[in-house]
Amino acid sequence: MTKSVLVGISGGVDSAVAAAILKEGGYRVEGLYIQNGFPGGNEADAENVADRLGFPLHRLDIRSSFRENIVDYFVSDYLAGRTPNPCIVCNKKIKFRYLLEEAQKRGLGCIATGHYARVEGTDGKDGFRLLKGIDKGKDQSYFLFQLGQEELQHLIFPNGDKTKEEIKEMASGLNLLSGMESQEICFIPDDNYRDFLENYPVTLPRPGNIVDEKGNVAGRHRGIHSVTIGQRKGLNISSERPYYVLEIDTKRNEVIVGREEDQLAQGLIATNCSWISPGSVSRDALRAKTHIRYRHRGVDSEITFLPDNRVRVIFKTPQKAVAPGQAAVFYQGDCLTGGGWIERRLRDA
């Protein structure tokens, strides 16, 4: 019986090569292009990929769901003084959800994307594990921490055991290098989130004071949506030493700033946690390396379970710019154990 797979096709090089690898591996490949209602995608490139590789390309218009689950979440988090990560939420609520639904509807056995990550079966009660891609500079497992066994049992990442350079070489050999590279946030083509927020049909926070930790006024902000934790540039504060954003107080409409050393946190509280293989996670203290944002090198940590699906994370060494709204993702070696959303930093352990 021929193996079959539905591949998420964006029009970019990574998803194109993922489809090519699967075709060469004997899979019956079909593609899915998701239309989200924003101009960041490239349907023409996706069609070109499907034509060159010779597989059918299906289209799915999910613009209403995308706006509700991703864009509205993104906007509301910024307005609440948090720093959102829409790609993580999109992977769970949009990309893999609709890939699975469409694959099942069309009788296809697996789903695949061009992410640099790996899935490994454990041949035991813990099901499937999610691993980093072997190209550590390109690894995208951080964005997948909310996936679980429902997705992993059907999921293939053909690019996970290859480097970006190898993928580019394969694309060149297949004449697929004309495809676009992925943008940081697909619905903000110029990556200017402040302009996006200020042109979105929503009431923006009003301007307010920038204060130090003693309450002394150091400057003015144009709205809490315009700053992020750890920000240094653009604060317009005259000082011999630079200030950094430490906290955002939504009740007082204030931005609290401090010096570089004031950013250090001993740990964090994370909420809405999820675990790749729940049966493998002990409810005792968990030792893992915590990544508090994409590209963070990770820090050795002790994780303690709290009520209401929350955890306390204590770092072995203090960390800067722990931002509420970002994801704290836990690894043991190359294995992604789980993660949660940062609720607040802990100044003291």
Active site positions, annotated: 90, 186
State how far the Cα of 214 lies from the Cα of 231, in Å rounded to an integer. Answer: 19
Tokens found for residue 166: 């190898």
What is the phi-psi region of residue 270: left when phi exceeds 0, alpha when psi lies from -120 to 50, beta otherwise? beta
State how far the Cα of 35 lies from the Cα of 32, in Å rounded to an integer. Answer: 10
- Is residue 40 classed as helix, strand or coil in its secondary structure? coil
What is the phi-psi region of residue 123: left when phi exceeds 0, alpha when psi lies from -120 to 50, beta otherwise? left
Amino acid letter for position 211: V
- Is residue 288 classed as helix, strand or coil in its secondary structure? strand
- Is residue 194 classed as helix, strand or coil in its secondary structure? helix
Which residue in 198, 231, 251, 206 sits closest to 321, CA to CA? Answer: 231
DSSP letter for each residue of 93-113: IIIHHHHHHHHHHTT-SEEE-
Neighbours of 39 (CB within 10 A): 9
> In angstroms, how far is CA 261 from the centroid of its own chain?
28
